[in-house]
Structure 1
């Protein structure tokens, strides 16, 4: 199934998962995390002019944090400050408008507010106890507040948001904290797999995590390489959940551009296909971000 077909046929029940690729498309293609990470490294005395092969972006951030003597909250602020001038482009606007028209929620690994600015959305969350700016996962940008995240449009930030500097997840250590936080929701009850998730009252029911387990997913602009430890782990848990409750199984699609020089592509596709995610090849970035399906 091609991307155009997914947009036309599956829009009534879908969630988008969008990575940094959406910011790298366009005439300048300068809004890159890698560029910002190198800038942050220079600010803290680490002299590198490119991302070194063999070290992931998450590991580099942990090294920067060590040099900055563990000031992760301040580093999050610095990183987001570097994004301050990023502005929505026409393709941001078109994708967000499509999502609003079809009441499709958006999950993004980005921290910036480019998508929410394109949507004219406001930061909102349910009025419930227990809010923490470390994990503000029930907060989203939207135009209407839904108790159930699946019920309508909203923009959810998987790895943290600029409004809450301490929520930013850039390093491997921070990703593992997110794994631990989510696992406590999914597996309460010791060996009883998904005992908490098998309940309408589970702890993550008002958060973006609920979307991962209860919506078909369309993933694009995201490398999903080995350094995406948290998200890849969560997709494995999704597959394990569907294996236990096959009647609740939801499809997922990963849209990519074939790169003959990418030696990791074969392994990534093997991983994704075996956890129930269909790999969909697009012929160009135009075929993703300027797809006619976004106009429907």
Structure 2
């Protein structure tokens, strides 16, 4: 099945998971997460011209935080300020517009508001628990507030959002904290997700986590490499959940640019296939972002 086939056949059922790749397509972009990290690192005196090989994004942040004497909260605010002028492209409008027309949720690992701004979505949240800007997991950008996250369009930020700087998750310790919080909800003795009927009663049912377990997933613009510790762990839990409740199984597709020179690609795809993904190669990123299927 090709990428366009997935959109045409399953469009109304999907949830999109979108990474920083959407910011980088179509030539040079100001919306580069690694470029932002490098700039702030050099402002702290590291003097780097290029990204150091063998260092993940989250490790790079932790090193920078140590150099800045653990001023993590202040650094998060700096990152959010720096993302304030990131630009909306035709790709953002095209893809989020498709999601809006097909009434499907969008999950993103990006912190910025570019996807929401592309369709004029506003911040909305349910009132099932006291709001916390540290973990605003029941907050989304949309036009209509829906009690069920899976019921329609909304843009959800997995790792935090720029409008709430304290929610930003940048380092390895942050990712561990995310997993601890999600695991606490999922593994509760009486109301956890692994209990029969758990999807309709667990604590996370009004948050973006519900989408991960109830919708088919289509991943674009996201490497899902080793530095995505939290999300990869969550995909393992998703696979465990479907193994226990196979009648609730949902499909998942990972779209990637095939690179025969990438020595880590085989292991990367093996992981994704093992947690239930069908891996769909393309020859160039333009096959994803320029696809006419987004116009449907």
Matches of 2:120 and 2:164, distance apart in 1: 19
C-alpha contact (below 8 Å) 1:139/1:207 kept by paired residues: yes
**Counterpart of 2:203 in 1: which secondary structure?**
coil
Count of residue correspondences: 295
Q: Report how far residue 196 of structure 1 moved.
A: 8.8
Q: Report how far residue 33 of structure 1 moved.
A: 1.0
Which residue matches 1:283? 283
Which residue matches 2:222? 222
197 and 57 in structure 1: CA distance in 2 versus 1, 3 angstrom threshold? farther
Matches of 1:211 and 1:222, distance apart in 2: 17
Which residue matches 1:183? 183
Which residue matches 1:122? 122
Matches of 2:20 and 2:31, distance apart in 1: 8
Q: Report how far residue 193 of structure 1 moved.
A: 7.5
Structure (1 or 2) with the greater helix fraction:
2
217 and 193 in structure 1: CA distance in 2 versus 1, 3 angstrom threshold? closer
- Of the structure 1 ranges 278-287 and 107-116, higher mean CA displacement relative to structure 2 is found in 278-287
Q: Report how far residue 30 of structure 1 moved.
A: 3.9
Query: After superposition, what is the alpha-carbon deviation per residue over 1:143-165, rounded to whole angstroms, capped at 9, x for unaligned?
Result: 00000000000000000000110
C-alpha contact (below 8 Å) 1:4/1:291 kept by paired residues: yes
Q: How does 1:1-296 map to 2 (within 5 A)?
A: 1-189=1-189, 194-195=194-195, 198-296=198-296
Matches of 1:169 and 1:61, distance apart in 2: 10
- Of the structure 1 ranges 237-246 and 126-135, higher mean CA displacement relative to structure 2 is found in 126-135
Matches of 1:151 and 1:199, distance apart in 2: 14
**Counterpart of 1:123 in 2: which secondary structure?**
strand
Query: After superposition, what is the alpha-carbon deviation per residue over 1:18-59, rounded to whole angstroms, capped at 9, x for unaligned?
Result: 000000012323421111111121222323222211221101
Q: Unmatched 5+ residue regions in structure 1?
A: none
Matches of 1:166 and 1:146, distance apart in 2: 25
C-alpha contact (below 8 Å) 1:179/1:230 kept by paired residues: yes
Q: Unmatched 5+ residue regions in structure 2?
A: none
TM-score by length of 1: 0.96
**Counterpart of 1:28 in 2: which secondary structure?**
coil
Q: Report how far residue 63 of structure 1 moved.
A: 1.0
TM-score by length of 2: 0.96
Matches of 1:195 and 1:137, distance apart in 2: 22
Matches of 1:146 and 1:69, distance apart in 2: 42
294 and 166 in structure 1: CA distance in 2 versus 1, 3 angstrom threshold? same
C-alpha contact (below 8 Å) 1:133/1:164 kept by paired residues: yes
10 and 193 in structure 1: CA distance in 2 versus 1, 3 angstrom threshold? closer
Q: Report how far residue 262 of structure 1 moved.
A: 1.5
C-alpha contact (below 8 Å) 2:16/2:218 kept by paired residues: yes
Q: Report how far residue 83 of structure 1 moved.
A: 1.4
